[in-house]
Structure 1
């Protein structure tokens, strides 16, 4: 019993050390963002603010300079929202449809097609920059929100297809055959039987896609225009804008604003993400 207690205490001690190690940067960002310039000069990195203030957050949101403009992160934040919501929904829906076809309506060459689609999961993003720029130019949506949405949808389809295909493989084929015998069509089976059974993998895919697209910088800086830059680009511009005095508290507040949506998603839906993975997202 003593040995078991010692091992449990040792395990908790190790876990607490690692938790403190990973949470310290977040702690530093939060306490720094709540200080003013005077508190930054007289205090040290880990000290709590003597007089907490949200001035840095207000400036980062609405008046900090991001290059030649001084409108804060607000326009970049809404650009990301306008881009992320349709890109996540469309790529998830297309992935569900692809996974449904490749697992339950197999045809000659379907396995080969799936193998080729998997190349998109492992292909470096830099490879597609030039051809994608040409395609967006031909379509007339280069340097626009619509172009950025299309890029993220196409980039996300391989991953979403992989998730849904591997999940649907575990669904009994008898469900599909019974529905077909009852006269259900392709779309009726998909909408009334398959999708209602897809809640775990839907949650996984939505969280996965939201995180990837919201945190993306490369596509955002390459394919966006002056009025469509996402928040990652705005944060980079804010942090690199020269001034007489470096405002670390504003930079920290801006970084937390940029990270807030993904932190919120994982705090609220993190347990569902794990459940979805164990329910079949990584089977295959």
Structure 2
């Protein structure tokens, strides 16, 4: 006599781990996207006015017509702005590029020594370096100007380069110290010592090739800070030898300001920093996170 096997499939329990697929058109998703679009529009509204106004002629500029497109698109304001800002635009590159490179390299050297090549009093030295980050720039402007005059540094880009490098060393040191302390294995440095490499050889041959994420972060930070600086520039330079922020202030602060030219000048001034973020931005967050969490 044969017995029939029970139908297991009819009495099988439901899958407990099966997750319900969430509809993309749920109320929560729709509310979230509407809120994000609202904030994006809030951010882009001033940019829209800035761009549209820069292409308008003088008679079209006004409070009532700031949202309307130009009746006649013209580049006259852009030409006027470039004529006023062109020389200082090139001088600002002479400031921002050396500042970003020099302060990043010095910060990398400091960060490596303070993180992996310990010496007596290293923590005290690191604390004193970081102390420079917490001094308000407004509090040291007059003493700084007197020190610069006492040393005999000429007004203009060389003095600004020197000052920005000095004030950029603390943040660059902090970034590289965290990066090296969390990402560089101790075995790599010990292998260099076994092969007879000293401090400089280890830093040059082993550490610098793996420091690209840290350099991306510090270069973006220092380039942007020195390019957008106005406080140091107004104290240590003038419109004839200073960076583009001084020239932009002179363009926008005239007795009868040309708003279209001022808008065009603001866009010209912000273009290099925007390009830096576009070209290096995808490595920026990765470089920050590389030294943020110890693996």
Please indicate, yes or no, whether the TM-score normalized by the shorter chain is above 0.5. yes
Displacement of 1:137 in angstroms is 1.9
Return 5+ residue gaps in structure 2 as ranges: 1-21
Which of 159, 166, 170 is matched with 1:154 structurally?
166
Cα-to-partner distance string for 1:188-244 (whole Å, 9 max, x where unaligned): 21112111111111101100011111011000010114532111111111111112x
Partner of 2:266: 255
Contact 2:110 2:177 in 1 (8 A): yes
Q: Which has the larger Rg? A: 2
Partner of 1:133: 145
Q: How far apart in 2 are the matches of 1:216 and 1:86?
A: 15
Partner of 2:80: 59
Displacement of 1:176 in angstroms is 0.5
Partner of 1:175: 188
Partner of 2:106: 94
Contact 2:238 2:246 in 1 (8 A): no
Partner of 1:75: 87
Q: Secondary structure at the match of 2:61?
A: helix
Q: How far apart in 2 are the matches of 1:194 and 1:149?
A: 26
- Go from structure 1 to structure 2 and tell me whether the alpha carbon gap of 1:56 and 1:226 turns closer, same or farther (over 3 Å shift): closer
> How do residues 98-247 of structure 1 correspond to structure 2 at under 5 angstroms?
98-170=110-182, 171-243=184-256, 246-247=257-258
Q: How far apart in 2 are the matches of 1:215 and 1:105?
A: 35
Q: Secondary structure at the match of 1:274?
A: helix
Q: How far apart in 1 are the matches of 2:162 and 2:238?
A: 14
Contact 2:239 2:246 in 1 (8 A): no
- Go from structure 1 to structure 2 and tell me whether the alpha carbon gap of 1:123 and 1:15 turns closer, same or farther (over 3 Å shift): same
Cα-to-partner distance string for 1:232-257 (whole Å, 9 max, x where unaligned): 111111111112xx421111001111
Bigger mean CA deviation after superposition, 31-40 or 133-142: 133-142
Displacement of 1:131 in angstroms is 3.0
Displacement of 1:180 in angstroms is 0.7
Q: How many residues align?
A: 272
- Go from structure 1 to structure 2 and tell me whether the alpha carbon gap of 1:107 and 1:42 turns closer, same or farther (over 3 Å shift): closer
Task: Please provide the CA RMSD for this pair.
Answer: 1.8
Q: Secondary structure at the match of 1:169?
A: helix
Q: Secondary structure at the match of 1:73?
A: helix
Displacement of 1:34 in angstroms is 1.1
Contact 1:163 1:281 in 2 (8 A): no
Q: Secondary structure at the match of 2:143?
A: helix
Partner of 2:12: none
Q: How far apart in 2 are the matches of 1:134 and 1:219?
A: 13
Partner of 2:279: 268
- Go from structure 1 to structure 2 and tell me whether the alpha carbon gap of 1:31 and 1:226 turns closer, same or farther (over 3 Å shift): closer
Return 5+ residue gaps in structure 1 as ranges: 63-71
Q: How far apart in 2 are the matches of 1:36 and 1:5?
A: 47
Displacement of 1:50 in angstroms is 2.6
Contact 1:99 1:165 in 2 (8 A): yes
Displacement of 1:167 in angstroms is 0.5
Which of 46, 50, 63 is matched with 1:25 structurally?
46
TM-score by length of 2: 0.87
Do residues 16 (structure 1) and 40 (structure 2) align? Answer: no
Bigger mean CA deviation after superposition, 119-128 or 209-218: 119-128
